[in-house]
């Protein structure tokens, strides 16, 4: 079973992020605001795509999405990340308000190079979690303190989280972000990702429906 990294909820003076840049951004999903947050300790940059006025509002539709270069740029069919991102942007774009956080934590936090090394192990029969462990990593190294800090900077009171990962809900709540409800994140099933999706459902409790259309 994957574990969630827990962090103490920072005070306003101790926020791990600072707003670095902001501009309107016309997109195929409508007019959004692009806000770049920098981690104070490392300088790593993350993006919030914001629709409408979210400050002080409860039940804001929010997707906390981790970078996936292989699917979002190269079109990999091994996972459902690109579908999930597009679904979240479509949903936010057609809502009165919403946020998509794009976090730079490739491969559930192990980085791009190690992710490709894990893919090589998967090609030899390991599942996604077994491959990470063979490389010496935990099942999931993603952090939620940065996402929580970004939402606090945006002034969101509570979120309707676009996810089917119960650990993501737990991770945000542990960082002081109330999750009012869950919104299913929809993705398509294909022959290359069905094993990956089945593993996520069976190993880490993702709320995924198989076969046919699936959520992850």
Active-site residue list = 140, 142
- Tell me whether strands 179-183 and 159-162 are parallel, antiparallel or unpaired: parallel
Q: What angle do CA 139, 142, 148 make, to 5 degrees?
A: 145
In terms of Cα–Cα distance, which of 131, 155, 54, 146 is closest to 95?
Answer: 54
And the tokens for 178? 């109330």
For residues 9 and 113, give the distance between their C-alpha atoms in angstroms, rounded to a whole number.
31
* CA 106 vs CA 61, 71, 113, 115: distances in Å: 23, 11, 9, 8
Cα Rg, the chain, nearest whole Å: 17
For residues 46 and 143, give the distance between their C-alpha atoms in angstroms, rounded to a whole number.
12
């Amino acid at each position: 079973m994957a574990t969630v990294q827990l962090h103490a909820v920072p005070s306003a003076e101790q926020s791990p992020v600072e707003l670095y840049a902001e501009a309107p951004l016309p997109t195929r999903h409508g007019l959004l605001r692009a806000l770049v947050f920098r981690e104070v300790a490392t300088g790593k940059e993350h993006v919030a795509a914001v629709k409408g006025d979210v400050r002080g509002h409860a039940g804001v539709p929010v997707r906390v999405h981790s970078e996936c270069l292989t699917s979002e740029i190269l079109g990999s069919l091994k996972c459902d990340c690109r579908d999930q991102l597009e679904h979240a942007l479509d949903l936010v774009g057609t809502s009165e308000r919403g946020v998509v956080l794009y976090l730079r934590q490739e491969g559930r936090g192990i980085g791009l190079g190690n992710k490709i090394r894990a893919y090589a192990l998967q090609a030899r029969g390991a599942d996604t979690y077994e491959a990470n462990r063979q490389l010496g990593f935990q099942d999931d190294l993603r952090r939620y303190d940065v996402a929580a800090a970004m939402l606090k900077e945006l002034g969101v009171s509570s979120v309707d989280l676009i996810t089917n990962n119960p650990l993501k809900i737990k991770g945000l709540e542990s960082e002081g972000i109330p999750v009012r409800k869950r919104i299913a994140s929809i993705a398509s099933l294909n022959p290359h990702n069905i094993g990956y999706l089945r593993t996520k459902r069976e190993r880490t409790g993702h709320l995924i429906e198989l076969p046919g259309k699936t959520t992850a």
